[in-house]
Structure 1
């Protein structure tokens, strides 16, 4: 999702979509399979190999099982239609191709109807480790495997429906924080130890190591109101990671009507991305090593 008013469409998005058109309402387009070059497939294979090799023992079992059950291609950019056969049968979700980041209301409408928007194009070889805007590797490898898990699939649908309400109530920044700290950068506590489930982490080589091994960030137990009060980072690894006990905990915590919560939080102080609050369930207080002085979002 894109809740930033200052967002400027990156040059790569414009270049990749030259000559293509998308639906004016829902921003979807047919996946242009013919546009993937040999270099694209090689880049996908490189990204897939290095992440799939490092994630066992780091990513949660639900993610790894989803990746296997979907049969995601390891050596080429996957065909969305083939993945949808597995996904639809499992949880009723499907992925739809989009040109890049799309307006919030369109994004929420897709999620509320069990459609996950996936940017169709892939980053270039010199951008393996960082890209400003999500591409097909982030969106597909990072997000889609968990959509085969019934509880997480239900959570994301509910998030989409909640997003439509939040936009009408002027509470989108609060809900954006929830998405950021769960869907994108969430950790889960398991009997085997702390594991990754957030797409922004599982699709990143550096953050897959940093979030679990580094002494720098805070690791704090999931709390809905705490998350909605907390700013985040878009230019560095996260200063705080929130840890759920289960996907059911996540679903249950976000099931009630958020309208009273938004009203209450309107009067609450905002916390910085690296702050520790008195009421936090703390797994680790970060030593703040390597933290820069740029601003939180």
Structure 2
């Protein structure tokens, strides 16, 4: 297929027909593996989103069909892009309730890892929660905040919020912890690690703490932050004036990823369904 030049907002036609039988088989293999693994580990809202958006159909989703259902639920839509897009473009899409998804899928020999987000990560990982009103509003608020962060030269700070919530977030669920971040739910290995490994810290989510904590992209996470609810995440984000916060943090020292501070809430796994919180 001849590559389509992106528009000023980097969107391109999905051209669903360009996906091959091998592409659809890769999607189905990844989808089957993750949907077998996730029940009991992922936030219930994620599984509800899969059903509400009829994402159990085989093959790479057709964005036109997917968007009809997503728009009706929360006013969001998925737009195809050739790959990673500039920060300003990405934030503008989110601020206008558009989620950019890479218009390609990994090869069969790349099921366990792909450096650049593909359509499986972007659509399977991110889109189900966009059917949830509070999380959908949070994503739009993040996009608007990103456009403002450009004015403060604070993208590096704000990217940590995205990383530790949208990509690698955990949430309290009953007596335990559930995963919801797209970087976890779309990864077989990280799902097992985030849920079961004793090595990473699982800390109570606190906005300023997150903005001071760097992250790594070359390995499983050393720290996960746990939100109490999507409503609480949205509330704190909407009620915070980020401008003064950026100025206050401008001279602060980053907190090492593996550090535990005296006032951190620490969650320790007792078993698969129960956690103990300590301060």
> What band does the TM-score fall into relative to the shorter chain?
over 0.9
Structure 2 alignment gaps of length 5 or more: 270-279
Displacement after TM superposition at 1:34 (Å): 2.0
Name the residue aligned to 2:212. 229
Paired with 1:101 and 1:282, the residues of 2 have a C-alpha distance of 34
Name the residue aligned to 1:130. 113
TM-score, normalized by length of structure 1? 0.88
Name the residue aligned to 2:272. none
Displacement after TM superposition at 1:101 (Å): 0.4
Paired with 1:35 and 1:192, the residues of 2 have a C-alpha distance of 45
Name the residue aligned to 1:12. none
TM-score, normalized by length of structure 2? 0.94
- Contact 2:78 2:98 (8 Å CA) reproduced: yes
**Which residue of the other structure, out of 205, 220, 224, is the alignment partner of 1:241?**
224
Name the residue aligned to 1:294. none
Name the residue aligned to 1:275. 259
- Contact 1:49 1:74 (8 Å CA) reproduced: no
Which of structure 1's runs of 4+ aligned residues deviate more than 6 A?
none
Displacement after TM superposition at 1:257 (Å): 1.8
**In the alignment, does 2:187 pair up with 1:211?**
no
Across the two proteins, how many residue pairs are aligned to each other?
268
Distance 1:192 1:72, change over 3 A: farther
- Contact 1:184 1:198 (8 Å CA) reproduced: yes
- Contact 1:216 1:239 (8 Å CA) reproduced: yes
RMSD of the TM alignment (CA)? 1.2
SS at structure 2 position matched to 1:254: helix
Displacement after TM superposition at 1:192 (Å): 4.8
**Which residue of the other structure, out of 65, 74, 79, is the alignment partner of 1:91?**
74
Paired with 1:154 and 1:173, the residues of 2 have a C-alpha distance of 22
Paired with 1:70 and 1:31, the residues of 2 have a C-alpha distance of 18
- Contact 2:53 2:66 (8 Å CA) reproduced: yes
- Contact 1:22 1:98 (8 Å CA) reproduced: no
Paired with 2:50 and 2:259, the residues of 1 have a C-alpha distance of 34
